[in-house]
Structures are given as C-alpha cells and as structure tokens.
Amino acid sequence: MAGWFSRWRSPEGEAGALSRRLRDYPPYAVPHPGPGERLTAEQAQENLAYLLGQREHRLQALHRLLAGYGVDISPALAGDDPRPLLDQLHAWANRYWPDLSGHRRRSLSSWLSSSRQGDEIAYSMLMDIAILLGELIRIRRPDFQWGVDLDEANGRDGMVSYRRPVLKIPQGAAMPVPLFLDLEDIVVGRFLQPDDPTQRLLNGWARLVDEAVSGAHESPWQGSGAPPP
C-alpha cells in the first residue's frame, strides 16, 4: 500500500514546492481566531464581515497560487461548468498536500486555534479553498448565503460550525430548519488526512458542490419539520 501512495506524491524536485510558495501567501487574518465556543455572537459576526469584505481578495490570492500549477478558477466562477475545476483541484491536492507535513497539525482543535500565519499559513489557503467552494455553490444556488451558525443547540452539541462562518440556507417556508455547510471544516478534514484512500479516490468536493446545487442537501428536510433519519 505504501508503494501505491508513493506514486501519487510529487515527483522528486517538486517536493516542497507548495510549501515554498506558501511562504508568500497572504494570511487570512480573521479578527477573532479560535473555536466558536470561545467567541461572542458579536465576534462571530465580525468574523463573517471579514470574510465578506475579503472574499474577492482571498479568491485572487488563491487564483495566483493555483495558476502556478495550471489551475484556473476564473471560468467556473464566471458560470462555466465547475466540474473540470473541481477535478483539477482534487488532483492537485492529491499530488501536493502530502508534502505539507510541516504545516499540518494533527487535530481539529489545533486548526481551530490556529493563527493561520507563519508555520500555520496553510490554513489560510484552506480557508480560501472553502470560500471558493462556497462561491461555486452560491452563484448557482442563490438560496445559499454566507452566514454564521448561531444555533444554540449546535453549541450545546459541540458542533465545530457553531459561531463560525458557514454557507447556509435560513429557516423559512421551504426549510423548517436552517441548513449549514461548514466548508472550511470539510476542506481542513481532508488536509489532515492527505493519504486517506477514500478521499484520494473520490472527489468529495465535486460531490459536495453537485449536491448543494441540485438541492440534494435540503430535500430530506423539506416538508417534514424534522431532521432526516
């Protein structure tokens, strides 16, 4: 199995290339870092305002980084079929993320407490990928908007999304409960397990975008008033 994984790693001479590029990557300097459970609702809203205010700048930073690997995010953001981009992004992560062991921490708690700077700059890149995924969904499904998970039940349950920016469909006539997609958690989860065979073989990001755009995420909730089994 180890030999199979080694064939997917960056060729000799490219190892560490992404790590070097990240040295000049702009930090995602969120005003209130840390897990949501430590933030006030007001601080959570300020973090959301930072995301919305910096969104274009963050996408430009990611565009410049990925362009160095022949990946162009512009067509999909302009409305083209997102699948080619998502396939490229999946292959790029498979190839280069295993080389970022120096940037990787081994737990969700260390990510949530990260400054996203210095040795932790990779977490800024991951947030930008989450923003990209969110925009790919949002421009095709305006029902989804950036927001904050302020559901106190999620706070009591220790949900990672609590008081953090998420893509959401608010509660309303068509939705008996709000729907949250914690995209940063999804991206970081893959980053923390770069050699996981399922994540390497299956393009979870493409499936995520497809299901969000198609309505598959909310359809089990609609008309029931209760969560799906």
Higher pLDDT, 224 or 79: 79
Q: Is residue 133 part of a domain?
A: yes
Q: Is residue 219 part of a domain?
A: no
Tokens 């927001």 belong to residue: 147
pLDDT at res. 215:
85
Q: What is the model's pTM?
A: 0.88
Q: Is residue 226 part of a domain?
A: no
Euclidean distance between the first and the last CA atom of the chain, given in angstroms as a whole number: 36
pLDDT in tens, 17-67: 898 999 999 999 999 999 999 999 999 999 999 999 999 999 999 999 999
Q: Is residue 225 part of a domain?
A: no
209: which 2 tokens?
Answer: 């975008």
- DSSP E strand stretches across the chain: 145-148, 165-169, 179-181
Half-sphere exposure of 172 (CA within 13 A, CB side): 8
CB under 8 Å, gap of 24 or more: what pairs does 212-218 form?
Answer: 212/137, 212/141, 212/144, 212/167, 212/181, 213/137, 213/140, 213/141, 215/141, 217/179, 217/181, 218/169, 218/174, 218/175, 218/179
pLDDT at res. 170:
80
Read off the DSSP letter of residue 72. Answer: -
Q: Is residue 222 part of a domain?
A: no
Q: Is residue 82 part of a domain?
A: yes
Burial 97-119 (b: 16+ CB within 10 A, else e): bbbbeebbbeeeeebbebbbeee
Residue 7's pLDDT band (boundaries 50, 70, 90)?
very low
Residue 179's pLDDT band (boundaries 50, 70, 90)?
confident
CB within 8 Å of 212: residues ≥ 6 apart: 137, 141, 144, 167, 181
Structural domain containing residue 138:
15-214
Q: Is residue 83 part of a domain?
A: yes
Q: Structurally, how many domains does the chain consist of? A: 1
Q: Is residue 8 part of a domain?
A: no
Tokens 């999946």 belong to residue: 90
Taking a C-beta distance cutoff of 8 angstroms, is the pair 126, 183 a contact? no
88 Cα distance to chain centroid: 16
